[in-house]
Structure 1
Amino acid sequence: MHRLQFHYTLSRNSSPALVRNPLIDLLQAVSAQGSISAGARALGLSYRHVWGELKRWEGELGNELVVWEKGQSAHLTEFGAKLMWAERQAQARLAPQIEALRGELERSFAQAFDDSVHVVTLYASHDDALSALREHALRQAREQGHSALHLDIRFTGSVDAIRALNEGRCVMAGFHTLQNTGNKTLTERTYKPLLRPGQHKIIGFAQRTQGLMVAKGNPLGLHSLADVARQRARFANRALGTGTRVVLDELLTQAGLAATDITGYTHTEPSHAAVAHAVAAGQADAGLGIAAAAQRAGLDFVPLADERYHLVCLKSALAQPGIEALLNLLKTQAWQDEVASIPGHSARQSGEILSMRRVLPWWDYRREKTHPKVQPFS
């Protein structure tokens, strides 16, 4: 079976909403004009071009399209006539949907030409507050009728998000770290090579709690990672490069535990929701995640640690209208109230440009200058 592909054209001119195929146009011209040469003239094309295209399409489709004999008018083969019929049928049946599709595309492109519309591409570790922010921005624009802010969010691991920012694939990244982690920790080793004062700016977004997601009623009595290790509870972990994996490894170190002490440490899931589903389905006894994911899956949640969720962008991006609009939105009371309604979340310093040294306790630029052998920015 032959497959179809659709293409569209941008134009200042108004025209009917049609899905056209050049082969059908050729067949229609030849059929209406009675010869290839007359059909070519009607289309403003050369005889050589039309003849060559017809032969190419015959090879592509494996059937003859036009019959022409010397001294007689050219006419479509049965297969060619059926192609024309199929196209007319489809156009007649799908005209309303085609018109609706054209309208939707035109509305989307209209925003690209509207200076009051801002699009911010954000790579970030998954968080319910970010999904809520995207909907909040759209809702606010609809209700108040002012400049629209569209957040193009791609969820990925914290490390990959910052790398995407440094590689120019986005204008802002979202990552999270435990509060009060000190020097010479995994958090420092993970994020410090990716961030540079003077180049990056940290923006407050939210504070949230990470904890154990366990079955309803917590049947194994798991209240700490030490309990998980002692009970040999089956654990669902996150992949390397995710912020939650870094948080888990930090908490294990603080508890004096090794990865080998956790049964299922190598069992990884792609998101908080996937970890929660694994626990709810009985595939694991516990996993580290956020309260909102546990609540949605009908699980109990055992708080273990508070963390900050940060946004980061290049200093030069702060002057972009889209970033300015985002920071203003984050500072509104309506948004901060919405964050507070998400289980385990609060809007801490939301939208504020913060000192890297204050929000990342392991960061000490003065110590950096004293020890120049730190891994360079990449």
Structure 2
Amino acid sequence: MGEYTARYTVVIEKDGEPVLDATLASLLRGVREHGSLLAAARALGIPYSRAWDQLSRAERLLGARLVETWRGGARRGGARLTPLAEKLLALYEEAEHRLERCIGPQAPRVVAAGEPDLVVAHSHDPLLGLVLDRLRGEGLRVESICAGSGHALAMLSLGEADAACIHLYDPETGEYNRPYLERYWLGDAVLLGGFQRQLVLALRPGLDTAGPDEVLEMIARGRLRIVNRNRGSGTRVLLDHLLQETARKLGLEKPMVRGYDNIAYTHTEAARQVALGRADAALVLRYVAESHGLPYLHVAWERYECYSPRERASSNPVKALAELLGSDWLRALIENSPGYRPLEGPS
């Protein structure tokens, strides 16, 4: 039988809700030291998406920012703690000192990581995963951060990623990605390549519907329970637009969606929840719906594109990614994967 140990930790609460625990305190210290949330997450050995989510949750509960970001300078940007974060961290550290005086010091846990050759921030996609694995097989140290399209662009803007792979629909222009690049001051970003993907409404087996419009109406009226994607995801941006348009056509003030806060971080996780009967529908990739044996209805073909800042596009690791995205190997993979087709026409 293994050895059992008890561990004590400090948690700062607001109105009974925890807002600052040991992990977030370590992240804030890391931001203070490195000037970067990504570097802080690496030092702790936790996924960037988890670090971002924990920070975002605390900021929502507090109703104020804990970390400020900016662009410019030699490193194209950075991050720093707000006065509120400094105040909360000081409160946390004082409580830590009091706890230490009672029970003695506890050893910190630090995980070191080597510096990657290529950092790719992206929205979830099975084919991109194969692309990045192939680059690793060719000897590149690739760090893959599945942060969602919006967060991926933020990382690119701050210089924390070499490439971002995104699929963000802009209802005003009817275009994908380019309008968002402008909003993140990345108008000169270089398109490295990509593909088109088919988005579908995956349905619980046995659900009888006439078509996607009927399913969207049932979701907007609260008659079907969904599993949603995380904040900042391109899939969530599109679903929000579709449901708002549906509600407008139905004369509803807003959609009455059941399961809106039931979050899945990947298409695979979303489809699995539908397959297990935990949700009635989810907007996912056709490729994933088929792999889970789910019935589905076509919604849209979207552009999944990878971009790099112009000043980084000429680096050897980024060029290796661009070459693979334009290779015959990937084209053959696309042609043999349901719900994918080559990227053609203007972005």
TM-score range, shorter chain: 0.5 to 0.7
Match of 1:55 in 2: none
Counterpart AA for 1:131: G
Identity of aligned residues (%): 24
Gaps of 5+ in 2: 6-104, 106-112
Match of 1:261 in 2: 256
Determine the C-alpha separation between the residues in 2 that align with 1:149 and 1:165: 20
How does 1:1-378 map onto structure 2 within 5 Å? Answer: 119-138=117-136, 141=138, 148-178=139-169, 181-183=171-173, 192-198=182-188, 200-221=189-210, 223-224=212-213, 225-229=216-220, 232-257=223-248, 260-349=255-344, 358-359=346-347
Query: Does the aligned pair in 2 maintain the 1:187–1:246 contact within 8 Å?
Result: no
Counterpart AA for 1:170: A
Query: Does the aligned pair in 1 maintain the 2:123–2:233 contact within 8 Å?
Result: yes
SS of residue in 2 equivalent to 1:310? strand
Deviations 1:257-281 (A, max 9, x none): 4652333223222221221121111
User: In terms of mean alpha carbon deviation, does 225-234 or 274-283 score higher?
Assistant: 225-234
Determine the C-alpha separation between the residues in 1 that align with 2:340 and 2:263: 24
Counterpart AA for 1:208: R
Determine the C-alpha separation between the residues in 2 that align with 1:335 and 1:341: 10
Return the offset for 1:297.
2.1
Return the offset for 1:186.
11
> Number of aligned pairs?
236
Return the offset for 1:254.
3.9
Return the offset for 1:192.
4.0
Question: Does the C-alpha gap of structure 1 residues 337 and 151 become closer, same or farther in structure 2, counting only changes over 3 Å?
Answer: farther
Query: Does the aligned pair in 1 maintain the 2:274–2:280 contact within 8 Å?
Result: yes
Determine the C-alpha separation between the residues in 2 that align with 1:216 and 1:269: 19
Determine the C-alpha separation between the residues in 1 that align with 2:163 and 2:178: 20
Query: Does the aligned pair in 1 maintain the 2:224–2:280 contact within 8 Å?
Result: yes
Query: Does the aligned pair in 2 maintain the 1:212–1:287 contact within 8 Å?
Result: yes
Deviations 1:15-68 (A, max 9, x none): xxxxxxxxxxxxxxxxxxxxxxxxxxxxxxxxxxxxxxxxxxxxx9xxxxxxxx
Determine the C-alpha separation between the residues in 2 that align with 1:189 and 1:267: 29
Counterpart AA for 2:192: I
SS of residue in 2 equivalent to 1:153? strand
TM superposition score normalised by structure 2: 0.59
* Structure whose alpha-carbon radius of gyration is higher: 1
SS of residue in 1 equivalent to 2:212? coil
Return the offset for 1:137.
3.4
Question: Does the C-alpha gap of structure 1 residues 177 and 316 become closer, same or farther in structure 2, counting only changes over 3 Å?
Answer: same
Query: Does the aligned pair in 1 maintain the 2:220–2:255 contact within 8 Å?
Result: no
Match of 2:65 in 1: none
What's the RMSD between the two structures over aligned residues? 3.5
Return the offset for 1:206.
0.9
Return the offset for 1:183.
3.5
Counterpart AA for 2:131: L
Question: Does the C-alpha gap of structure 1 residues 206 and 189 become closer, same or farther in structure 2, counting only changes over 3 Å?
Answer: closer
Return the offset for 1:174.
1.1
Gaps of 5+ in 1: 4-59, 61-107, 113-117, 142-147, 360-378
Question: Does the C-alpha gap of structure 1 residues 253 and 272 become closer, same or farther in structure 2, counting only changes over 3 Å?
Answer: same
Return the offset for 1:173.
0.8
Counterpart AA for 2:183: P
Return the offset for 1:191.
5.5
Question: Does the C-alpha gap of structure 1 residues 169 and 330 become closer, same or farther in structure 2, counting only changes over 3 Å?
Answer: same
Question: Does the C-alpha gap of structure 1 residues 331 and 173 become closer, same or farther in structure 2, counting only changes over 3 Å?
Answer: same
SS of residue in 2 equivalent to 1:318? coil
